[in-house]
Amino acid sequence: MTYIRFFNALALSDVPIVGGKNASLGEMYRQLTDQGIKVPNGFATTADAYWHYLEYNGLKDEIAHTLEGLNTHDVKALAMCGSHLRNMIAHANMPPDLEKEIIAAYTQLAEEYTETLLAVAVRSSATAEDLPDASFAGQQETYLNIRGAAHVLESIKHVYASLFTNRAISYRVDKGFDHMKVALSAGIQKMVRSDLASAGVMFSIDTETGFKNAVFITAAYGLGENIVQGAVSPDEAYVFKPTLDAGFKPVLSRHLGEKAIKMIYSDSLKHPIKNVPVPLEDQQQYCLSEDELLRLAHDAVIIENHYSRLAGKTQPMDIEWAKDGISGELFIVQARPETVHAQKNTQNIETYHLKKRGDILIEGKSVGGKIATGIARVIKDASRIHELEPGEVLITDMTDPDWEPIMKIAAAIVTNRGGRTCHAAIISRELGLPAVVGTGHATATIQTGQLITVSCAEGETGYIYEGAMPFTVDHLELGTLGHPKTKIMMNVASPDRAFSFSAIPNDGVGLARLEFIINNSIGIHPNALLHFDQITDKKEKEKILQRTAAYASPVDFYVQKLAEGVAMIAAAFYPNKVIVRMSDFKSNEYANLLGGHEFEPHEENPMIGFRGASRYYSESFKDAFALECQAMRLVREVKGLKNVCLMIPFTRIPEEGKKVLEEMEKHGLKRGKDGLEIYMMCEIPANVIAADAFLDVFDGFSIGSNDLTQLTLGVDRDSELVAHVFDERQQPVLDMLKMAIAACKRRDKYIGICGQAPSDYPEVAAFLVREGIESISLNPDCVVATTMQVLKIEKELSLKVEVPA
């Protein structure tokens, strides 16, 4: 055939002939099928077919004349120009020789799948698309569930016309492409019956931080177009690539999306697809199993490795997948290079910090990691996009490519619907804008003219604050930062910020707190899940049932969520050491969790009451502690994150430490087995005074300077009346630190500090370095400044050693 190429005759080098999308499909179909990648077969019309279509109908001069002198920033003129060109191209005649070849190719494809009216997707593929510095994703149209040769021909004409959508014209002008040198190829591909199952988008890189060791997967019921458009909030998951390659099952985390609607086939040939509501019970379940997530991640790694070999460098990929509801098979239906993070300078870190939090108007999924302030502009319909003024915050239901001509002038973007791979998210990243998607009802909550701050710098949740909130932007050139002998670690509480924190030079995590994960990701007392029938509050029981609906049991929910929180942190800093402290809630804090008041005692002074090690072996809590142990085994043994070490807080006497280790061993966490190290928080004066007895039980100490100061000075750190006395720089506290370090060094055991003191006081950090501490664990925002200080101190110490007395 002159104008047709089947996928088995295409390779990535054929971009000038069939565009990036179709060349990529051919590349995978030919080269990756043997590696288990399933790509539905199809064919593409060539660039020559497009030019033949224009010449046959005498359209080239009219197109060039219409575009001449067009100001793409004049939204109305752009719309008139685009509408005229699309109408002209879509209603032209198909050349007889091209029509004959398309019908023959469709018939051949239908015979291959033994379906007379084979359902196909008709997609656009521009010959200049998916270049390293320009992603043409979504610029042209896609037509789904097209059946019969006549409808395929009609769809191809509309695909040709879509080269002149408003956003495509504007995009080419912005990127410097000559309109008359970009051709369009139509890709005709056998449909996967994901209308009966699910579909989605995945990236072989984290879309927010550029973290390269994770595959990010989104999924929703029905055809995948709803995710791309941002019409639904999908399920999300991360899978860790290094331990996946080693044979583990490292699903790092899962987030349940709303998935309120799904796109399915309709019986009408004229309107072949439709959206229908998803039943509530299905919304409350994940639409992919863990095994399916692992299978998709495995495919993503194969695809990334293949394209990286072709590119001669690591090439992160943006991939669309679909699950067939009849066969249960997972298919890859598109793959293109990821263009945002691939172009970033990884040696330059830009970090936004909100200095003050105000009244929160609404929240959603954060995109972009930045902060912006501006006047809100609520626009509910694309026909009014010309109303947006430069520097305003666009508030809308969702965006599609029609909005792109004005998105670039916005300060930030906020949408009601969509997930982190929807159109608004992808374009915001490309434009370098902060965006908050999936807020639910931003267009009803925020008013045009309202001054707001959009913050995407606080983790996976993005916040819209009323008024202008102050913020700062830090810039760090990594090439200028040296590496001290003293290990500089981090205190990391929030799993959803771990990927971004890991980009800061570090030696691992000195403190990861389970309490943060329990409080934010679970919110339920473990005993309330173990003894659900004992809960008397009906409203609390209903909340617990809703929160745990997607899991095999309430207990499974607790274990899985705890494991996921730790796994995200451990993966971010892999293979560096990550020290996880087992739960250290006080009784009043546990009581605040759902169901907690039913299981917690009232204590006058919880700070020195039923907390830490004393809980773990007690009859009232040891079953709950067993769940923590199960979660840690899941992280180490199933997900393969053996860089996780464990730490026991508030151990009053050595016998308590022994009892806790016995409990842990019952649940498969034996100290020394498979490299497991178990440390103790050194935070009670008794821990320092009897250091050798405690070090007989544990692998080392991590000093908790907050509690150690409190108990050394006899100061309630929560009391403002004596707050002026609480100071880690007091000599008795420094003496305690010195003794603890000396004991561990004498026994050749680990000694670090994870308390607040080195973050707050540079002189304490200097003291610790001089005493020879192995590691200092700091709040992330203090790491760079303290690293520079430690390097200076180490240099001074080395000079003193070199100069003779």
**Any idea which residues carry the catalytic annotation?**
423, 754
The answer to whether 374 touches 392, Cβ cutoff 8 Å, is yes
| Residue 427 token pair | 């374009």
For 745, the enclosing helix (H) or strand (E) is helix 731-747
Q: Which residues contact 554 (CB under 8 A, 6 or more apart)?
A: 524, 529, 532, 544, 548
Q: Where are the alpha helices (DSSP H) in 518-553?
A: 526-530, 538-547
Question: Cα 31 to the chain's mean position, in Å?
Answer: 29
For residues 51 and 62, what is the distance between their CA atoms, to the nearest angstrom?
Answer: 14
| Residue 96 token pair | 């007889």
What percent of the chain is helix, strand and coil (3-state, nearest 5)?
Answer: 45, 20, 35
The answer to whether 254 touches 235, Cβ cutoff 8 Å, is yes
The answer to whether 40 touches 112, Cβ cutoff 8 Å, is no
Biggest CA pair distance of the chain: 97
SS3 491: strand
**β-bridge partners, 512:** 492, 580
The CA-based angle 124-126-128, given to 5 degrees, is: 160
For residues 467 and 446, what is the distance between their CA atoms, to the nearest angstrom?
Answer: 12
Quote the DSSP letter at residue 594: B
For residues 652 and 580, what is the distance between their CA atoms, to the nearest angstrom?
Answer: 19
Quote the DSSP letter at residue 299: H
Question: Cα 228 to the chain's mean position, in Å?
Answer: 16
The CA distances from residue 377 to 461, 462, 718, in Å, are 22, 18, 44
Q: Which of 435, 439, 441, 474 is nearest to 455 (CA)?
A: 435
The answer to whether 37 touches 71, Cβ cutoff 8 Å, is no
For residues 506 and 501, what is the distance between their CA atoms, to the nearest angstrom?
Answer: 9
**β-bridge partners, 457:** none
Q: Where are the alpha helices (DSSP H) in 475-513?
A: 498-501
The answer to whether 124 touches 184, Cβ cutoff 8 Å, is yes
Q: What is the DSSP string of 210-267?
A: --TTEEEEEEEEB-THHHHHT-S--EEEEEEHHHHHTT---EEEEE-----EEEEE-S
The CA distances from residue 780 to 211, 353, 488, 666, 754, in Å, are 17, 12, 10, 35, 12
- HSE-up of 443 (CA within 13 Å, CB side)? 15
The answer to whether 628 touches 647, Cβ cutoff 8 Å, is no
For residues 407 and 428, what is the distance between their CA atoms, to the nearest angstrom?
Answer: 8
For residues 232 and 684, what is the distance between their CA atoms, to the nearest angstrom?
Answer: 51
The answer to whether 471 touches 355, Cβ cutoff 8 Å, is yes
| Residue 101 token pair | 């070849």
